[in-house]
Amino acid sequence: MSTIRILESGATSFVVQDGRHELGTYSWGETWQHPHWHPLRTRRTGAVLTSRAPFDHPWHCGHWWAWKQIDDAICWNPPLHGETSSGVARVVATRIEGPAIIQEVVWQREQDGEELLREERAMHISLIDDDSWRIDWDILCSSVQPRLLTATLWPEPSWGGYAGLSFRPARSLAFNEQVRSRSSAGGLLAGDACHGQPGRWLAYTGALDDVPLPRPPRAAPLGTVALVAHPDNPVADEPWWATGTANLHSRFFCLGSGFLMGRSLNVQPGEPLRFRYRCVMSEGETASERLDGWSFPATEPRSPQPRAQGSI
């Protein structure tokens, strides 16, 4: 029976193993824009599913969590267009608890060090079967001052609204790519129809590189990444961000949460926001019914929502 092992790999990274293979690496530090996972691998063959620092968006780091904007501070990317206020993630403490990485992260204004937001993030790792494994994110956000969380306006431009959880797929996955989502009403969405729509999960399937022989000489080996939102997240029926149209991309170059599409969120002192997501890495054909089984279970009726504003 395989079990999860989390091992130190230098001063600012951990490697996750299943007793046979390396499944993924979690890194942080000054070299990269955000704490992040890269590489993430399939369990059976170890094929890489993520891309880090791609030439078109070098601040994209595999699989990560980051804010777009806290108050006036841009947290998503380094100052590129003359921004006068930028936010950076500083890791305060990290520890291992069983098969989980627990980390305290402070987002602070780069110019003067002012604390903008504090996060307690837990990333629980577990095995599903011989082909699949998952990371369950649990992020609690708090602040000692009222803060406003915003994103690039959406639907104008159409690619706006991204914030929170993101996944930058390996470029090989663009071959034979398939994007699917199970809508909150129960139907199956595909391709561009997934963008900006609420759904139980968002899945991306494509071809894998570096899969060892023997394998079929013609058919491309496939891998799937699935993102699942918890039904008790702060925004009910939150939409998914799934588009390749930004900067003339023709493929789905990045996937992620879209809870700030067309809205903003307030963080009030003493009223933390809790976000929970699941990221599943799998290999081979992945039927939509199997993806349904990776969803979080239904919960009790939702508690009152945190303060949220309308379109921004």
- Prediction pTM value: 0.92
Domains in the chain, start-ordered, CATH in brackets? 5-297 (2.70.98)
**For the chain, which residues score pLDDT lower than 70?**
1, 244-252, 299-312
Which of 255, 265, 206 is CA-nearest to residue 235?
265
Q: CA separation (Å) from 217 to 20, 211, 212, 221, 240?
A: 26, 11, 11, 10, 35
Tokens 């110019």 — which residue?
A: 111
pLDDT of residue 304: 41
* CA atoms of 124 and 61, how far apart (whole Å): 19
Question: Count of alpha carbons within 13 Å of 280, Cβ hemisphere only?
Answer: 26
Please report the pLDDT score of residue 310 as a whole number: 43
Tell me the DSSP string of 278-292.
EEEEEES---HHHHH
- Alpha carbon 120 to its chain centroid, in Å, reads 16
What pLDDT does 83 receive?
Answer: 73
Sort strands 36-40 and 22-27 into parallel, antiparallel or unpaired: antiparallel
Burial 264-286 (b: 16+ CB within 10 A, else e): bbebeeeebbebbbbbbbbbeeb
pLDDT tens for each residue of 274-310 = 999 999 999 987 999 999 999 998 765 544 444 344 4
